[in-house]
Structure 1
Amino acid sequence: MSRSERSPLLLAGLLATAGVAHFAAPRQFDAIVPRALPGSPRTWTYVSGAAELALAAGIALPRTRRAAALASAAFFVGVFPANVKMAVDWRHRPTPQKATAVARLPLQVPLVLWARGVAKAAGEAPGA
């Protein structure tokens, strides 16, 4: 399997793993839901987990890959405020935890670019 064939499957795997984690260990995700959002943090945790699972499924299927990858790029931008909240909330924690929270911030950029690259490749695929 070529690198271009693996890339969407790896992205789908990342999203699926994150989506499952939202249901398996929701408390850690509840803590980073911005307070400005209406409703319960747990609801947002479950909604975002379900969205990640749906995006993973869409990327895994060649027929829906392009649209799902573009939606994933938007999703990665949309969850950025949660990463900012985590970095702010963890600023007084021990250095390894603080570093993890801060490292998540620039990680969103390659995730957005990866999703856009998967979308572009899917748009160029024969039969797309």
Structure 2
Amino acid sequence: MDISNHPWHLYLMSAIYIIAGLFHFIAPTKYREIVPRYIPYRNSMVFWSGIAEIIIGIGVLIPVFQKAALMALILMLLIFLTVHFYMLKNTKRIPKWILMLRIPLQFVLIYWAFSYLQH
């Protein structure tokens, strides 16, 4: 596996998702609170979404898995948009302006992942 030609920002992308995935296990209660109530098996969803983020974070650095990992990342970010909209409507503890900023940030992250599919 030759990862020497990856630009620094691909390593950054990988680290962001690996660390985010690890936090699903460090602070699962915080993540469980933001899972919309209409989604069943919220504990399992927190667990498996953490696993998915870690696997995707690793996958973007492995050339043979990179394209699949990037596509999975884009799909995951699109699915997570539902959580952001749910939080905007149902969360009182986080200031609305922060919740509003998360939505366009999600699209920036999607574009970032998509930009690697062009190579």
Q: Same fold (TM over 0.5)?
A: yes
Q: What's 1:6 paired with?
A: 8
User: Is the partner of 1:31 in helix, strand or coil?
Assistant: helix
Which runs of structure 2 are paired with 1:74-113 in the superposition (5 Å)?
Answer: 74-90=75-91, 92-93=92-93, 97-113=95-111
Structure 2 Cα separation of the partners of residues 28 and 118 of structure 1: 31
Cα displacement (A) at 1:97: 2.6
Cα displacement (A) at 1:119: 2.2
Q: What's 2:3 paired with?
A: none
Q: What's 2:72 paired with?
A: 71
1:75-126 Cα shifts (integer Å, max 9, x gaps): 1001111111111123x44xx73222221111110111011112222xxxxx
Structure 2 Cα separation of the partners of residues 26 and 117 of structure 1: 31
Gapped runs of 5+ residues in structure 2?
1-5
Q: What's 1:117 paired with?
A: 115
Determine which structure has more spread, i.e. the larger CA radius of gyration. 1
Gapped runs of 5+ residues in structure 1?
122-128
For 2:75, give the aligned amino acid: A
Aligned residues: 114
For 2:63, give the aligned amino acid: P
TM-score by length of 2: 0.87
TM-score by length of 1: 0.81
Aligned with 2:37 (options 26, 35, 47): 35
Cα displacement (A) at 1:7: 2.4
For 1:97, give the aligned amino acid: P
User: Is the partner of 2:63 in helix, strand or coil?
Assistant: coil
Structure 1 Cα separation of the partners of residues 110 and 49 of structure 2: 16
Q: What's 1:26 paired with?
A: 28
Structure 2 Cα separation of the partners of residues 7 and 118 of structure 1: 11
Cα contact 1:67–1:119 (8 A) shared by 2: no
For 1:118, give the aligned amino acid: Y
